[in-house]
Amino acid sequence: MAYNLSEGSLEVIMNGGHYDKPVMQVLGSKKIQGSGANERFRLLVSDGKHSHSFAMLATQLNDKLITGELSDYSVVQIDRFVTSILKNTGKGEKRVMIILDITIIAPGTQVGKKLGNPSTWTEESAQSAPAQVPVAKPAPMPARPMANHSAAPALDSSMLSSQMTHPIASLSPYQNKWVIKARVMTKSAIRTWSNAKGEGKLFSMDLCDESGEIRATAFRNECDRFYDMIQVDKVYYISRCQLKTANKQYTSIKNDYEMTLTPDTVIAECMEDASCVPTIKYEFLPISEIANKGVDTILDTIGVCKMASDLQELTARSTGKQLKKREVTLVDSSGGAIALTLWGKEAESFDGNANPVIAAKGARLTEFNGSKSLSCLASTMLRLNPDLPEAHKLRGWYDNGGADMDVVNISARAGGYAGGSSDWITFSEAEEKQLGSGNKGDYYSLLGVLTFTFADNAVYKACPQEQCNKKLVDQENGLFRCEKCNREYPNYKYRLLLGANVSDPTGDQRITAFSEAAEAMLGKNSADIGRLFEYDKAAYAQLFEDVKFRTFVFKFRTKMEVYSDEARLKTTVMSATPVDYKEANARFIKNIKALSGVEI
């Protein structure tokens, strides 16, 4: 089969002209920076006449390279691209093409060879080539910042066309003459800080265009100057910011750099058609797949708000700060449900009565008591009933039976059956990970055998008050005293405090189980066990014999505690459930697959 490359298109593009949907061949690719989500690739392309490694792949197309879909020798149609002039490359100006959209006409394996005999395109060939189109220059900027530092009028936006702006993906600290045309995806509230280095205030915003995204932060004066002007979803021309390397630790924005607004920064709203600038880019993860992600992952998801809690007010233990939160439960057609925690004003104003669709960008995955949920950060963007295809699809699904669908709640609390949301580990793994050594205590699940129970003193007379489970002191006069309530009662309730040993193939652990967990293991409630203890010592002893060597799925909380100068792990049973062997086998098979790479 013959492939028609757009011969001569490269020349036109390198001279700053436009060529509609050129067909080129990919001859090579090279990673030029970043890793993971921040990788960026350069392509060696040929139009059959010339070849040149001036093409950069917009990051959203990286997958095509990584998956091999876009391989060497592929013939592609470049559906959309922008060019940008890079300065300070050591050789003066250098034009690059950023590929925004691509159609693979023929895979590399099918083409299998270099087409034609392209010569390497050089600056010299540029000069010798007829200048068919005037070279687009970066937009003219005012020579100096406006004296009054007013933001808006400094730029005559009519002088700018999208052709004269720079793609966000091309920005770097080595080049300062640029104008971007970008949409504000998110804008934070103003925050103040005070530390050893000083104090101040700031807000940040996340910007995007066709080529990529970037975070911009405004401090102190710039914070005052731009905060009111910047509106989410609007498109602005922005220039003269300082670029620096982004600290990936604090953002999920896909860019190696971030920008800081300076006294010279100019921002003007784009008043013309800005439909070419994309709106927020989501990478929605189906809710059922969120459980597979690691804690602290920042992710996007969309779901219908099935339930919303009341507004809760609480005090942060660490900072003493007053907090307001509301927990909403999101469901989607993947059959998953997850809790999303809203904070502050967002929590206050939220109304879940009409079961809105919620799109969340940049929520953080957290884990508590072994179950996962999402939490909003200051930078998380929530949209209610957004005009997105995914949202309309979900609405239709929910209103036509989805509301009644059985869902697996990833955020189900421990104590009940947690729906298999957290992995089982072994005692040796718990030790390796030094679980329990932190301040907060750690939670883990484990498949283990109860090898010994300390039956003596496993049952005690507890304060009859519902919330108080304190052990009572027998006054020997028919009354029982609770030290905690500072009262005497004629009655009591039985509670359990069961010490036991649990073993698994890698080790064993002394554990403590309180009433609910102990009842689950012993298969009798505390009151019945209390009666046996009083009236049928043999049956009581037998109960603790019978439970020995039974296997449970334990959920533990473990924490290092010091008893008379000796550090010891205190491990409490949060829940103990009988083994569902079908589910257990599914876990083991999954592990074997993961470890061996062998399909079973």
Partner DNA sequence: CCCCCCCC
Using CB under 7 A as the criterion, which residues of the chain lie in contact with DNA when the complex forms?
Answer: 188, 191, 193, 195, 197-198, 200, 202, 204, 217, 219-220, 222, 244, 246-247, 250-251, 258, 260, 262, 312, 314, 316-319, 321, 323, 325, 341, 343-344, 364, 366, 368, 373, 375, 377-379
What are the DSSP calls for 524-547, one per residue? S-HHHHHHHHHH-HHHHHHHHHHT
Secondary structure letter of residue 235 according to DSSP = E
Cβ atoms of 302 and 292 within 8 Å: the answer is no
Q: C-beta of 577: minimal distance to DNA in Å?
A: 21
Cβ atoms of 46 and 29 within 8 Å: the answer is no
Q: C-beta of 349: minimal distance to DNA in Å?
A: 15
List the structure tokens of 85. 């002039």
Task: Measure the CA–CA gap between 187 and 196, rounded to whole angstroms.
Answer: 27
Note the Cα 380 to chain centre separation in Å: 10
Q: C-beta of 411: minimal distance to DNA in Å?
A: 9
Only one residue has tokens 């953080």, namely 364
Secondary structure letter of residue 413 according to DSSP = P
Nearer to DNA, 222 or 332 (CB): 222
Nearer to DNA, 343 or 397 (CB): 343
Cβ atoms of 383 and 359 within 8 Å: the answer is yes
Q: C-beta of 245: minimal distance to DNA in Å?
A: 9
Please state, as a whole number, how many other Cβ atoms lie within 10 Å of the Cβ of residue 187. Answer: 22
Q: Is 248 exposed, middle or buried (0-12, 13-18, 19+ CB in 10 A)?
A: middle
Nearer to DNA, 144 or 321 (CB): 321
Nearer to DNA, 44 or 305 (CB): 305
CA of 3: how far to CAs of 7, 73, 75, 113, 348, in Å? 11, 11, 8, 11, 61
Give the β-pairing of 371-375 and 336-343.
parallel
Nearer to DNA, 77 or 375 (CB): 375
Q: C-beta of 133: minimal distance to DNA in Å?
A: 39
Task: Measure the CA–CA gap between 313 and 344, rounded to whole angstroms.
Answer: 9
Q: C-beta of 196: minimal distance to DNA in Å?
A: 9
Nearer to DNA, 198 or 597 (CB): 198
Nearer to DNA, 66 or 378 (CB): 378
Q: C-beta of 12: minimal distance to DNA in Å?
A: 40
Q: C-beta of 202: minimal distance to DNA in Å?
A: 5
Q: C-beta of 373: minimal distance to DNA in Å?
A: 7
Q: C-beta of 86: minimal distance to DNA in Å?
A: 24
Q: C-beta of 62: minimal distance to DNA in Å?
A: 24
Of the candidates 384, 343, 380, the one whose C-alpha atom is nearest the C-alpha of residue 364 is 380
Continuous segment of H or E residues that includes residue 412: none
Nearer to DNA, 376 or 547 (CB): 376
Show Cβ contacts of residue 68 under 8 Å, excluding neighbours closer than 6 positions.
none
Cβ atoms of 453 and 462 within 8 Å: the answer is no
Nearer to DNA, 60 or 341 (CB): 341
Nearer to DNA, 35 or 195 (CB): 195
Continuous segment of H or E residues that includes residue 166: none
Give the β-pairing of 235-245 and 179-187.
antiparallel
Task: Measure the CA–CA gap between 80 and 53, rounded to whole angstroms.
Answer: 18
Nearer to DNA, 58 or 414 (CB): 414
Please state, as a whole number, how many other Cβ atoms lie within 10 Å of the Cβ of residue 90. Answer: 5
